[in-house]
Amino acid sequence: MKKIQEKIGFICDMDGVIYHGNRILDGVVDFLNWMTENDKRFVFLTNSPEKTPHELSMKLERMGLSVPAKCFYTSAMATAEFLSGQNPGCTAYVIGEAALTKALYDKKIYMNDVNPEYVVVGETRTYNFEKIEKAIELVNKGAKLIGTNPDITGPTERGIMPATGSLISPIEIATGKKAYFVGKPNPLMLRHGLRMLNCHSNEIAFVGDRMDTDIIAGIESNIDTVLVLSGVTSREDIDKFPYRPKHILNSVADIIR
């Protein structure tokens, strides 16, 4: 693990790497303490658009971890930044939680259920048929379909649950329009993480638990990848993909052992 330990910084996924739901994973406290004690730069990237950086900071604090809000970057923030760059001052019909709406507001993108330029979908606990109908109507009228992240499922303390990729698929099927996904494996997320750390790609390692979003994003961004088996990917799953991570570990605890 010496080569990983010598890295200046780390970009880490959260779900399946740091925690499952509200349960912190074994070895995470030691890993965070090691990064702090050794002046490692680090940022947490999450494809989940459901919480703001402040809420993520508070969530970790309730688990006994002290991580400031500035160390988080979410797919909601990346989506807002992407739309702001593409079409400043645009409007959107949003299926998602308050954190996604706030990220859009922060970039001066406002809500519109009549004639928006975009329909934006993220993970939500209030998904219903009425919202699907409205999204389909607006996309058929010309709104562009955007997904915060392509994940089909995500790990929770109750097991594997549906994520944005599953929620957006009925809209894609009904309209015949494919969504553009901003979150990983789109390299936009990792490039922003590099800017946050002020590091070159060869100076950091990217730690994730998913082959189809995390590892491919790292490979396409020319960043050394670390797959941890504490999330949705098992060792048997790895051979199903035409690419491999640089390192395969049971958990982040193995980085410092």
pLDDT, tens only, 162-204: 899 999 999 999 999 999 999 999 999 999 999 999 999 999 9
Burial of residue 156 (number of CB atoms within 10 Å: 0-12, 13-18, 19+): middle
- The mean pLDDT value for 30-47 works out to 95
Determine whether 239 is an active site residue.
no
If you count them, how many residues does the chain have?
257
pLDDT digits (tens, 9 = 90+) for 111-136: 999 999 999 999 998 999 999 999 99
pLDDT category at 155 given cuts 50, 70, 90 is: low
Beta pairing partners, 20: 23
State the catalytic residue, choosing from 15, 151, 212, 254: 15
Q: What is the mean pLDDT of residues 56-81?
A: 95
pTM: 0.91
| Confidence at 56, pLDDT banded by 50, 70, 90 | very high
Q: What's the whole-number average pLDDT of the chain?
A: 94
Structure tokens at 255: 């980085």
Residue 13 bears catalytic tag: yes
Calculate what percentage of the chain has a pLDDT beyond 70. 98
pLDDT at 18 over 90: yes
Predicted pLDDT at 156 = 65
DSSP 32-80: HHHHHHTT-EEEEEES--SS-HHHHHHHHHHTT----GGGEEEHHHHHH
Helix (H) or strand (E) holding 196: helix 188-197
